[in-house]
Amino acid sequence: MINITKLLLAFCLCTRVAAQDLHFSQFYGMPLLRNPGLSGIFNGLFQASTLYRNQWGNIGAPYQSMALGIEYKAVGASLNDPFSLTLGLQVLRDQSGAANLLRTSYAPNISGRISLANGMYVSAGFLAGPVTSNFNPNKLTWGDEYVNGVFTGITNQPFSVTGKSYFDVGTGVVLGSSNPDFTQWYAGVAAYHLNNPTVSFGSNDVLPVRYTINGGLGLKVSEDERLFFYGDGIIQASQREYLFGCIYTKYFVDDNDENEEGISFGAFYRWNDAVVPVVKLSYDRWVIGFSYDFNVSQLLPGSQVWGGPELMVKFKGFADSKHGIICPRGGL
């Protein structure tokens, strides 16, 4: 019975992977995956972020996702500058299921931010690049491989195509406020897969456009305490996903210190899917974050609550020692 439950769980997950993009629980740490317009909305010259997610390990099949995001400001390192131009790169690698369905993408990004009155800004970005995907049919098992109850390992299932390459395009725009002495906020909209790329291995099925709504709010509780609220809404074909939560941050240095050392903890909720506690530590110019998904969806009988851990590592670099203002994405 346990094996049947796991098999059904794996089938449901494979169906979801085919119908909807992968997600990360610490989504605020990978801005290019949320909205290309969020690139460059930080104080400093550059930053690099990585995310690693290992989900559903208890069912025996690998569901591992890795992402690397790099942002470099060619113009305007500070949010006080009237204009900034950011160049970036988003790398994504996702491995799913028993057949090791592997998808890898490399997407360069360009974004521009213009300062408005009263500390406000508007930012727009564009992201595009190649994607490759493949799977190993030898790791799949079919009904015709069983003859009179005996496993033969021989199947008549045809697999003429086990790899696919395509080009992907996304864009987004963000409006926000970056004044660290007052309430900080941002709101944005983005769209990915605008070119509806053909992604299936044996038919002409296309990847539907993914629309996202992004939001963030930063409240200054005291000189060394902040509350940050994040939320994303995602629409892709018939799929819907809503993820929102709050993080409390206690800084160990004042606002004029570029390193922003401190500790953060909070929780997120992915609607009808998971509860996600989060903890982060920042030291010098490094940030390490850890979260864990506790499953509360209809897959609960198979998952037994356990979802998967996720690790984030971020490094931020500065052009000089004067770029230490808390950024509107949370300052971390």
Q: In the structure encoding, which two tokens stand for residue 174, read together?
A: 């963000």
Cα–chain center distance at 295:
18
Domains of the chain: 2-152+163-317 (2.40.160.60)
Ranked by mean pLDDT, the top range of 43-52, 138-147, 241-250 is 241-250
pTM above 0.75, yes or no: yes
Q: What is the pLDDT of residue 147?
A: 82
Cβ-contact 123, 76 below 8 angstroms:
no
Q: How far apart are CA 98 and CA 137, in angstroms?
A: 9
**Closest C-alpha to 208, from 194, 189, 190, 223:** 194
CA distance 332 to 326: 8
The three-state secondary structure class of 13 is helix
What pLDDT score was predicted for residue 18?
A: 43
Token pair of 332 as six digits: 């971390």
The 10s digit of each residue's pLDDT in 205-239 is 889 999 999 999 999 898 889 999 999 999 999 99
d(CA 63, CA 53): 8
Sign of CA dihedral 69, 70, 76, 78: positive
pLDDT tens sequence across 118-130:
889 999 999 999 9
Q: If phi over 0 gives left and psi between -120 and 50 gives alpha, with beta otherwise, what is residue 111?
A: beta
Q: Is the pLDDT of residue 28 over 50?
A: yes
- Taken as a whole, the chain contains a residue count of 332
Yes or no: say if 9 and 225 are a contact pair by the CB < 8 Å rule: no
Whether the CA torsion 25, 248, 230, 131 is positive or negative: it is negative
